[in-house]
Amino acid sequence: MLPKAWDNGVMKNRKPLMAANWKMNLSLDEAGDLLNRVKKAEIDFNRVDVLVAPPFTSLQLAKKLLTGTSILIAAQNMHWEAKGAFTGEISPLMLKEVGCTHVILGHSERRTLFFETSEVVNGKVSAAIEAGLIPIVCIGETLEEREEERTLDIIRSQLNESLKTSCQQRSLPECVILAYEPVWSIGTGRTATSEQAQKVHLFVRRWLRENFDHDSGDTIRILYGGSVRPDNIRELMLQSGIDGALIGGASLRADSFLSIISFYES
């Protein structure tokens, strides 16, 4: 059965995913409280997948509280090596040990504040897949790039470089989720219009058809991220190319996160 919001003239057969990116927020107590609230909520997991990406220090707690539920756990970053002298880093296998099935990679805050290049992201994406984690690979343009009308060129080069060596054994939709996050809309309250987001999502699907097998463009999940809130999620989800959201600020409170998750009821 198609999710209700899909009946509205928008035909998608990809299951939506609502992913909470907590960034560097919440103490252990606050994390436990939020996780318990989300866990107790009535979520129709036939209609939507739900994922939380707490800081590393709360992953163990998330595993403890969420084991046996359908809520997925992700990390917000990782190193590409399995182990060794990499002070301050975390390996893919360590993330798996604490219950992660997914990992966010190439977030714009990592790219700009921690100088991660697409080449580094590419190495991490390959390592994640190799370890059996599903990377949520973020791409997006800055305000300056948008104003210079370079958005699609930037997206194309981020895709080319970040997915260069991915998924040689398996098809891309099985092993990667993409997230389009215009940098100018992250944490600014300025969401891309649904048309702006849709245009980029359709461009990414076309790129996938041309660079991977034809089905990838139709079956891969592409999330939108950047100032997603309860009052704009429905409009975004009505776009045929958008399959869910990567949510920062609004995922730190149970009421707003749960209201975004249940977008299909509105």
Residues marked as catalytic? 107, 181
Among 20, 59, 75, 247, binds ligand PGA (CB under 6 A): 247
- Indicate the residue type of 159: L
Query: What's the min distance (Å) between Cβ of 59 and ligand PGA?
Result: 18
- In the list 186, 204, 233, 260, the residue contacting ligand PGA (rule: CB under 6 A) is 186
Nearer to ligand PGA, 66 or 179 (CB): 179
**7: which 2 tokens?**
């009946």
Q: Which of 266, 251, 263, 265 is nearest to 38 (CA)?
A: 251
Q: Count of H helices and E strands in the chain?
A: 12, 8
Single-letter residue type at 35: L
Question: Of 194, 227, 232, 239, which one interacts with ligand PGA (CB under 6 A)?
Answer: 227
Token pair listed for 160 = 């080319």
Contact between residue 247 and residue 50 where contact means Cβ atoms under 8 Å apart: no
Q: By rule CB under 6 A, what string of x and - marks binding of each residue 4-33 to ligand PGA?
A: -----------------x------------
Give 265's contacts (C-beta < 8 A, 6+ positions apart).
Answer: 4
Window 115-174: residues binding ligand PGA (CB under 6 A): none
Q: With contact defined as beta carbons under 8 Å apart, do 137 and 125 qualify?
A: yes
**Nearer Cβ to ligand PGA, position 208 or 233?**
233
Nearer to ligand PGA, 19 or 216 (CB): 19
Query: Which chain residues interact with ligand PGA by CB under 6 A?
Result: 21, 181, 186-187, 225-228, 246-250
